[in-house]
A and B are shown apart, each in its own frame.
Chain A
Amino acid sequence: MAAVVTPVLTAGIGEADLRDIAVYRGRGGYKQWERAVRDLKPADIQAACDASGLRGRGGAGFPTGKKWSFLPNNDKPRYLVCNCDEAEPGTFKDHMLLEETPHLVLEGILLGAYAIGSHHAFIYIRGEFKAGYAIFMAALAEARKAGFVGKDLFGTGYDLEVTVHRGAGAYICGEETGLLNSLEGKRGEPRLKPPFPAVEGLYGAPTVVNNVETLAYLVPILEKGAAWFASVGTEKSKGYKIVSISGHVNKPGNYEVALGTTVNELIQIAGGMREGRKLVAVQPGGGSSACIFEEHFDCPYDYEHIAKAGSMLGSGAFLAFDETTDFVAAAHNMVRFFAHESCGQCTPCREGGHWLEIVLRRFVEGRGLMSDLDMMRRVSSTITGLNLCALGDSIEPFLKSVLNRFPAQFEARVLKETTHV
């Protein structure tokens, strides 16, 4: 596969003002929405989604159609919630989509809501995205005026309301049950699962939480067909993905590529490494993912291959490191993030993250102890698997991967002389 960028969701960004509903409609915008409400049944959209092989683009990579299929048939209302609480370190795609092409985001939400038979959809926007919030509110008002949101849409009798909810600064609200608690006006603490949101979500009713990028892909899938989407990618990872490339590359940015593009190709796409520098590690899926190294740089960037390489694709945050990187400081930075963002419900995550951060800071200061190296491994692996949500489990992967790969960097920060007599 060649190193090519294929703008699908990102098409037109930087060329046209897609915030303007007239511009968006001029490019075929809201046609799929009108067609869906007029001519398609919810089951048709579900079938298209299944056939396309679309998987959640927020981090877990769960098949979207399958997630929808878990909704029970009962007399409760159903809700669709679009997760735009993008805060995974290194991810900046939803931020771009929200600000640059808000109507596409909205059309995706509308299609997702229709597909699950919902009459009330929500979008949870990260509190920091103040400009994005204003842009999306303006887009929603335009769409409402044009008759795409509200009551009796296109004269079919179908009602759909969209409510925009702003967060207020908490990474954990990107976790779907934390998000639902926050949307209910509570502390954004994740819930014990089961019951899963599909059964008992918002207000105890069946709820689907989908990422911005996932929902936005429904638009081109309906427009060009599920087969078009499924024709690219690899065996189990179909279609396209926006990869947020940052770090020591020449041209960091969001690049939309077919899944299966290799790690090396992604580096090329982002303009290569800084001059005279060499790629030594990639964190392929955001702060929660382990680093992958040289032996995997020709690995296709898809869910399975990255998992096989010992990491995960996550939200598509691709952070490149060259040989000048201080991995001790990087590990400290990452662990500090999770320690700061822990909601505090589960002891292993709250205490473990906090103490690991303190120990790592000692290393950054050159005051580590040899015995700390094993202790950090032990503590971080103990945290994993003992928490309500995935945040605690996210502390270990990056730390362990760099501890194993660059032990010399850590050993060099061990205290040389002691004052013991």
Chain B
Amino acid sequence: MSDRRADFPALLAELKPECDALIAQYEQPRSALLPIIHLFQSREGYTSPEAMRAAAAMLDLTPAVVESTVSFYTLFFRRPVGKYVLQVCRGLSCSISGANDIMAYFREKLGIGHLQTTQDGLFSYEEVECLAACDKPACMQVNLEFVYSLTPAIVDEMIAAMRAGTYATAPMAQTDAPGKTWQVDQNDEVSTGGKSKGARDVSDPDNAGGLGDKAGVIMLDRIVDRDFAFRGRTSERVVLEEPAQIKELVNEDAHH
């Protein structure tokens, strides 16, 4: 892994024309904030403090405003994530059509829970709200590519391919090592991972299509909620340092 922070000025110089083109699409520059963050995240694998600061400089906003905005959106990761972000739908349609078993299966298999990353940095796992694919339950996204009608066999195959490096969807860019969770409210005590004790055997015919694994869901949600419950979307701020260097870079570019 190369030094992301040292490489950032080069990345910024490379992406600057694309950012300018994004800004030019709108009557007001600030509208380009989400597209610019998407662009940086696609290259860095997450939304780094440097990227937020660069966006702030380009759009004449304060870094705090940028971070406040970025923190509102669940698809912007303010901490590094694994190579494969596995987002399984927990919406009601999927939930009554076998998704709970699939989620339990993922947790068992990966040994991690909701909002956690495996120790090898390969998988980040999240249970997400309705993905608008309720006709093909259970569904999920892998780095935002849909996978439909999940079964344990499909999950096995997918995980094996990802481990072998042969999975069709491109991995997330890896510019920083991920921690145990990408939530900003990181608390080492929380993210201990571990197997879901309440998971029922997914091959149990009595459990097909019903609401299985309640204990598993609850146990993990409780662990997460205990520490995240009162913080909501607006959480602790990332410390933004060295504004001068970035500002300089952007301004320099503007002068030319």
The interface of chain A, by Cβ under 8 A from chain B, is 77, 86-92, 94-95, 120, 126-131, 163, 165-171, 182-189, 203, 244-248, 252-254, 274, 283, 287, 317, 319, 321, 324-326, 329-330, 333-334, 337, 340-341, 343-344, 350, 354, 358, 361, 364-365
B28 touches A203 (CB 8 A): yes
**Would you call A163 and B25 a contact (CB within 8 A)?**
yes
Partner of B129, one of A168, A253, A254, A340: A340
The answer for the CA separation of A254 and B26 in the assembled complex, in Å, is 34
A residues in contact with B30, CB < 8 Å: 184-186
Minimum Cβ distance to chain B for residue A327 (Å): 10
Some 18 contacts from A to B, beta carbons below 8 A apart, are A86-B132, A90-B91, A90-B92, A95-B133, A167-B75, A168-B38, A168-B76, A183-B31, A185-B69, A187-B68, A189-B72, A245-B135, A246-B137, A247-B96, A248-B96, A252-B136, A354-B229, A364-B214
Residues of A within 8 A of B135 (CB): 92, 244-246, 252-254
Q: Which of B216-247 contact A (CB under 8 A)?
A: 218, 221-222, 225, 229, 232-234
Nearest chain A residue, comparing its CB with the CB of B100: A329
What is the chain A residue whose CB lies nearest that of B133? A92
B145 at the interface (CB under 8 A from A): yes
Which residue of A is nearest B74, CB measured? A169
Distance in angstroms from A167 CB to nearest chain B CB is 7
**A174–B74 CA distance with the chains assembled, in angstroms:** 15
Query: Is the pair B214, A128 in contact by a Cβ cutoff of 8 Å?
Result: no
Nearest neighbor of B229 in chain A, beta-carbon distance = A354
Q: How many angstroms between the C-alpha atoms of A403 and B27 in the bound complex?
A: 49
Do residues A187 and B72 form an inter-chain contact, with CB atoms below 8 A? yes
Interface readout for B6-43 with A: 1 if CB under 8 Å, 0 if not?
Answer: 00000000000000000001111011111101100000
Ranked nearest first, the 10 interchain pairs of A and B with the lowest CB-CB distance are A185-B33, A169-B75, A168-B73, A169-B74, A246-B134, A185-B30, A130-B144, A89-B130, A252-B135, A187-B72
Do A95 and B90 touch across chains, with their CB atoms under 8 A apart?
A: no
Of the residues B33, B34, B96, contact of A167 by C-beta under 8 Å: B34
Most chain A beta-carbon contacts within 10 A, residue among B25, B73, B129, B233: B129
Interface assignment of B95: CB less than 8 Å from any CB of chain A = yes
Interface size on B, residues (CB 8 A): 52
**For residue B221, which residues in chain A have a CB less than 8 angstroms away from its CB?**
361
**Residues of B contacting A130 in the complex (Cβ-Cβ under 8 angstroms):** 144-145
Q: Is B34 within 8 A of A287, CB to CB?
A: no
Flag whether B183 is at the interface (Cβ < 8 A). Answer: no
Residue pair B31, A165 in contact (C-beta under 8 Å): yes
Best-surrounded residue of B90, B132, B146, B218 (most CB of chain A within 10 A): B132
On whether the beta carbons of A127 and B232 are closer than 8 Å, the reply is no
Residues of chain A lying within 8 A (CB to CB) of residue B175:
none
Chain B neighbourhood of A334, CB < 8 A: 92
B134 touches A252 (CB 8 A): yes
Give the distance to chain B from A108, nearest Cβ to Cβ, in Å. 19
Closest A residue to B217 by beta carbon equals A364
**Are B72 and A188 within 8 A (Cβ)?**
yes
Task: Kindly provide the distance from the CB of B61 to the nearest chain A CB, expressed in whole angstroms.
Answer: 8
Residues of B within 8 A of A330 (CB): 92, 95-96
Nearest-neighbor residue (CB-CB) of B221 within chain A: A361
A185 CA / B25 CA spacing, docked (Å): 13
Closest A residue by C-beta to B92: A333
Assess whether B34 is in contact with A168, with CB atoms less than 8 Å apart.
yes
Q: Is B97 an interface residue (CB 8 A)?
A: yes
Minimum CB–CB distance from B196 to chain A (whole Å) comes to: 15
| Bound form: Cα–Cα A165–B218 in Å | 36
Q: With an 8 A cutoff between CB atoms, is B103 at the interface?
A: no
